């Protein structure tokens, strides 16, 4: 057990006790009852892929509980399966955990560093008559295991002597047997209603190098055996895990009990975080990566933590989202729109609002002096005066959005069309007097005249217009790539087709040749901006170059999400 700390429950105001989630209540009770005198948690990822948004919930929960109770938090890699693990995944997970703000400092551990102690626990179980070496091949073992309605059958090797089991297990360790030839099984109960307790495998033979231990071992512990031992070794008090491990809890308790650890950890399960119409399974993401259907594990269309970071999401937005979803025992799904709401709320007060045209169309002000350029004043963020103002160039030729002009507009279309007048943001009223087309009938330029009396900020009140459009100065604008994202899943068809394959959206990525204000030329990776009327954008860290930023759209401006308890 770790050092005793002050019981935070005694100091907690009544109103806070009422709103505490079930894990906090369980921890409160354990501290009051003296089961533990502190709180020690861990996040235990397997380094067999990149983390996704669901893992963020576990990271923030485990770290949050340690922080709340003044305890300790470990980052520990459950690296007991060398067939799927890579250093690349270890490094990516460390980066994700640090980015989310879960500080582990010198508390970084690897399960593989405990292989010797795990081996000794296995020997101890054999000596207690609680484990035996089995010759059953995998298919026979499945046959002997039974079903949910029928008990299993005893392994023919179940009654081997302790001496024979010790000898065979030592020979397994020495490398005498081929992969799959022998296993070490717990001796529990083949008739147990919980299939996990029907003599589960503790060790298997695998002649494969490990990323951390090299060729030192040719037998590796199974997760259900290794995990409780790791927790016990590290002094974990509350082993917080997702609901699929609830049926494994009796085995978790059996291992730490039979291993005779003096202060066994307690496993508590909580519901996973599911996102509707999103790809979170490592197997599916790995397939997308290997087939080059996405740009790696950090593709901004994925809800991997590295993908969300690359797209421009912030740690604060993900924390807000996790808090919004809450901690419960019941599985439920969250809409991706809730995550989008959280990033908008986080970015809104601090982002500069810049001018950018994603689908450019030339606008020519026929009566504006040729060659003249004037500087206009623009607010960086009307809701945050502390961000100040900036100067933007304006001249005779501009770029506007293609959908800000229509030759034959529908009703209630208030932007540019022949004869209509609008305001150019921060600038003047302009009236459409004509347009040019190419030989295919495509509009190539719009002609307007401007009224110099209507300059923004001049106090002009002579008339009003219903539409305002944004623009950039054609001669000084910077040409950049802007990436627009949709869900990688075709939401109308659902996540999977009848064969279990992903229904991919062919329009999940659109790349625009856009024009932006000159100031944005020097934007650095992970700089974030609001592009007026087009959404929030982040500079891509991977594909941008000095003076040539690539912008990823984080999220659009409009939200369909309704915050619980609030009116839209």
pLDDT in tens, 83-101: 889 999 999 999 999 999 9
Confidence label for 564 from pLDDT (cuts 50, 70 and 90): low
Q: What is the pLDDT of residue 19?
A: 79
| 414 close to 492: Cβ distance less than 8 angstroms | no
The pLDDT of residue 90: 96
Share of the chain above pLDDT 70, in %: 95
Query: Range with the lowest mean pLDDT among 154-163, 234-243, 493-502?
Result: 493-502
pLDDT at 114: 98
Beta-carbon neighbour count of residue 459 at 10 Å? 5
pLDDT of residue 7 exceeding 90: no
| Lowest-confidence pick of 15-29, 317-331, 398-412 | 15-29
- pLDDT value of residue 501: 85
Strands (E), 92-189: 108-110, 131-134, 183-186
Distance (Å) of CA 27 to CA 32, 38, 56: 9, 9, 21
Please list, in sequence order, all residues whose beta carbon lies within 8 angstroms of the beta carbon of residue 497, skipping any fewer than 6 positions away.
503
Q: Which residue has the tokens 């109770």?
A: 69
Say which residues have a Cβ less than 8 Å from residue 316's Cβ, sequence separation at least 6.
346
Mean pLDDT, the chain, whole residue set: 94
For 461-479, the pLDDT digits (tens) are 889 999 999 999 999 999 9
pLDDT mean over 11-28: 73
**What percent of the chain lies above the pLDDT cut of 90?**
88
From CA 451, how far away is CA 513, in angstroms rounded?
31
Total-model pTM: 0.91
Distance CA 519, CA 477 (A): 9
Residue 497 has pLDDT above 60, yes or no: yes
Residue 274 confidence (pLDDT) = 87
What is the rounded average pLDDT of the residues 102-113?
A: 95
- Does residue 165 have a pLDDT over 70? yes
Q: What angle do CA 135, 139, 140 make, to 5 degrees?
A: 50
User: Which pLDDT tens digit goes with each residue over 37-72?
Assistant: 999 999 999 999 999 999 999 999 999 999 999 999
Task: Count CB atoms within 10 A of the CB of residue 464.
Answer: 9
Element (H, E) at 429: strand 429-437
Question: Sheet harboring 352-354: ordered strands across?
Answer: 352-354, 528-531, 535-539, 550-555, 478-485, 509-516, 356-357
* Interval 178-198 mean pLDDT: 97
Average pLDDT over every residue of 109-117: 98
Binned at pLDDT 50, 70 and 90, residue 565 comes out as low
Query: Could you give the count of Cα atoms lying within 13 Å of 566 in the half-sphere of its Cβ?
Result: 4
Q: Mean pLDDT over residues 258-271, rounded? A: 96
Answer whether residue 11 shows pLDDT above 90.
no
**pLDDT(10) > 70:** no
In this predicted structure, the answer to whether residue 3 has a pLDDT above a threshold of 90 is: no
pLDDT, tens digit (0-9, with 9 covering 90-100), for 524-541: 999 999 999 999 999 999
Strand-pair category, 108-110 with 72-77: parallel
Whether residue 5 is predicted with pLDDT greater than 50 in this model: the reply is no
Q: Average pLDDT for residues 304-327, to the nearest whole number?
A: 97
Position 206 confidence tier, pLDDT thresholds 50, 70, 90: very high
Average pLDDT over residues 420-426: 98
Planar angle of CA 517, 520, 521, nearest 5 degrees: 105
Instruction: Decide if pLDDT at 559 tops 80.
Output: no
């Amino acid at each position: 057990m770790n050092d005793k700390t002050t019981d935070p429950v005694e100091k907690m105001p009544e109103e806070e006790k009422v709103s505490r989630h079930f894990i906090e209540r369980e921890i409160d009770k354990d501290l009051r009852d003296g089961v533990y005198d502190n709180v020690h948690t861990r996040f235990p990822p397997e380094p067999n892929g990149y983390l996704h948004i669901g893992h963020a919930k576990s990271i923030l929960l485990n770290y949050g509980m340690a922080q709340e109770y003044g305890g300790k938090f470990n980052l520990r890699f459950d690296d007991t399966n060398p067939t799927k693990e890579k250093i690349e995944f270890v490094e990516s997970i460390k980066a994700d955990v640090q980015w989310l703000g879960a500080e582990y400092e010198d508390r970084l551990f690897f399960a593989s560093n405990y292989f010797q102690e795990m081996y000794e626990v296995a020997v101890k179980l054999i000596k207690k008559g609680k484990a035996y070496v089995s010759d059953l091949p995998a298919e026979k073992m499945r046959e002997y295991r039974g079903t949910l309605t029928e008990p299993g059958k005893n392994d023919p090797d179940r009654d081997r002597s302790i001496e024979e089991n010790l000898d065979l297990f030592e020979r397994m360790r020495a490398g005498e047997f081929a992969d799959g030839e022998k296993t070490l099984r717990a001796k529990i109960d083949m008739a147990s209603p919980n299939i996990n307790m029907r003599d589960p495998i503790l060790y298997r033979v695998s002649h494969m190098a490990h990323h951390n231990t090299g060729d030192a071992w040719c037998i590796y512990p199974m997760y259900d055996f290794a995990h409780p031992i790791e927790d016990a070794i590290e002094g974990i008090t509350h082993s917080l895990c997702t609901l699929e491990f609830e049926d494994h809890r009796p085995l978790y308790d059996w291992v730490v009990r039979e291993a005779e650890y003096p202060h066994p950890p307690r496993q508590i399960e909580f519901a996973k975080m599911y996102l509707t119409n999103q790809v979170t399974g490592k197997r599916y993401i790995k397939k997308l990566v290997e087939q080059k259907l996405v740009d790696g594990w950090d593709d901004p269309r994925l809800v991997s933590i590295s993908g969300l970071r690359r797209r421009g999401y912030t740690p604060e937005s993900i924390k807000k989202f996790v808090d919004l979803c809450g901690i419960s025992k019941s599985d439920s799904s969250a809409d991706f729109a809730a995550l989008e709401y959280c990033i908008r709320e986080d970015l809104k007060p601090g982002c500069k609002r810049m001018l950018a045209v994603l689908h450019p169309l030339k606008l020519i002000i026929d009566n504006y002096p040729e060659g003249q350029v004037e500087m206009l004043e623009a607010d960086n963020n009307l809701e945050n005066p502390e961000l100040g103002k900036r100067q933007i160039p304006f001249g005779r030729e501009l770029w506007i959005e293609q959908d800000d002009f229509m030759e034959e507009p529908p009703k209630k279309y208030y932007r540019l069309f022949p004869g209509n007048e609008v305001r150019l943001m921060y600038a003047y009223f302009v009236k459409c007097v004509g347009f040019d087309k190419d030989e295919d009938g495509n509009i190539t330029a719009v002609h307007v005249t401007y009224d110099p009396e209507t300059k923004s900020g001049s106090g002009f009140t002579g008339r009003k217009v219903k539409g305002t459009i944004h623009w950039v100065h054609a001669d000084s604008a910077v040409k950049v790539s802007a990436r627009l994202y949709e869900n990688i899943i075709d939401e109308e068809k659902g996540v999977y087709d009848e064969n279990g394959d992903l229904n991919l959206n062919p329009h999940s990525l659109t790349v625009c040749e856009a024009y932006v204000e000159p100031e944005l030329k020097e934007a650095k990776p992970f700089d974030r901006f609001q592009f007026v009327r087009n959404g929030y954008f982040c500079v891509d860290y991977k594909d941008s170059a000095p003076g040539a930023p690539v912008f990823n759209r984080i999220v659009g401006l409009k939200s369909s999400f309704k915050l619980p308890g609030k009116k839209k």
